[in-house]
Amino acid sequence: MIDFKNVNFSYEKGEPVLKDINFSIEEGESVGLIGCNGAGKSTLMKVLLGLLPHEGEIKVGDLTVSKETLPAVRRKIGFVFQDSDNQMFMPTVYEDMMFGPTNYGHTKEEAAARVDEVLEELNLTYLKNKYNHKISGGEKRMAAIATILTMRPKVILMDEPSIALDPENRRRVINAINKLSTTKLIASHDLDMILDTCSRVILMHDGEIIADGPVEKILTDRELLETNHMELPFKLQGLQIKNN
Ligand SMILES: Nc1ncnc2c1ncn2[C@@H]1O[C@H](COP(=O)(O)OP(=O)(O)O)[C@@H](O)[C@H]1O
Ligand SMILES: [Mg+2]
């Protein structure tokens, strides 16, 4: 579903931010992209979305990401921004959710049916007619996820979906992620969230992929995580102490 072959990128000449990135993600996989601040996670997502130019080859399904295929690529990928304010631009949640499907040619009735279905699925019907500027940060994050889902994307990218959320809203976002059966790539340094939502982890550091494997292998590897400026998930710290 997603395929990176020898992908390189730099914002400024001579300062590579993505260095020879290679990986594939199969349809239906849920993959965590982890790494400390500055590792290159957000850049990798922007390159995958075609928002930044790249060297090498990126494929989404059978589409090669390029300027020419951008509209088609965008139809396949739903992207939840780190800052939900950048995503919600209509007055109400309902209008934001209607925008995508109607923009892609669905009738108002079809779009409205999708909106209701997604809101119900995520237990968010109460948000439908709320004003975006009057809802909380947690609700906004949930509304942003709901908005993406009305487009029925093949792939969902999320950049730090749990950042700045209180525990209750963080849990709601985790539950929402786990309900989605699409292919998912989730960038975060919240390793407990990754543990709860992903089966595979790609670890980046300084623009390179350092490790790629099952979540239970990588997130239990204290030495690997600490070498790359991260810590074991809280959930596993207790177990680790007992073992030492
Ligand atoms: N717009 C930009 N211009 C120049 N450098 C950038 C820009 N955005 C990010 N960088 C640099 O690219 C590197 C990777 O950043 P980023 O992809 O945001 O990492 P992460 O999401 O893992 O924290 C960092 O060194 C960062 O300073
Ligand atoms: Mg980032």
In short, whether 31's Cβ falls inside 6 Å of ligand 1 is no
pLDDT at 240: 53
Question: Which atom belonging to ligand 1 lies closest to the Cα atom of 160?
Answer: 21
Give the residue ranges of the chain where pLDDT is below 50.
Answer: none
pLDDT at 241: 55
Q: Contact, 35 vs 204, CB < 8 A?
A: yes
Q: How far apart are CA 229 and CA 115, in angstroms?
A: 41
In short, whether 11's Cβ falls inside 6 Å of ligand 1 is yes
What ligand is nearest to the CA atom of residue 83?
2
In short, whether 39's Cβ falls inside 6 Å of ligand 1 is yes
Give the distance from CA 241 to its chain's centroid: 31
Q: Which is nearest to 224 in space by CA: 199, 191, 193, 198?
A: 191
Tens of pLDDT, residues 138-169: 899 899 999 999 999 999 999 999 988 889 88
What ligand is nearest to the CA atom of residue 38?
1
The CATH-assigned architecture of domain 31-50+78-243 is 3-Layer(aba) Sandwich (3.40)
Q: How far apart are CA 186 and CA 184, in angstroms?
A: 6
In short, whether 84's Cβ falls inside 6 Å of ligand 1 is no
- Of the residues 7, 42, 46, 203, which should be mutated to test ligand 1's pocket, given the most ligand atoms within 8 Å of the CB? 42
In short, whether 42's Cβ falls inside 6 Å of ligand 1 is yes
Q: How far apart are CA 185 and CA 187, in angstroms?
A: 7
Residue whose Cα lies nearest atom 3 of ligand 1: it is 11
Question: Which atom belonging to ligand 1 lies closest to the Cα atom of 35?
Answer: 22
Question: Which atom belonging to ligand 1 lies closest to the Cα atom of 39?
Answer: 22
| pTM of the predicted model as reported, rounded to 2 decimal places | 0.92
Tens of pLDDT, residues 10-41: 999 999 999 999 999 999 999 999 999 999 99
Question: Which atom belonging to ligand 1 lies closest to the Cα atom of 37?
Answer: 23
Apex 69 CA angle, 184 and 31, nearest 5: 15
pLDDT at 87: 74
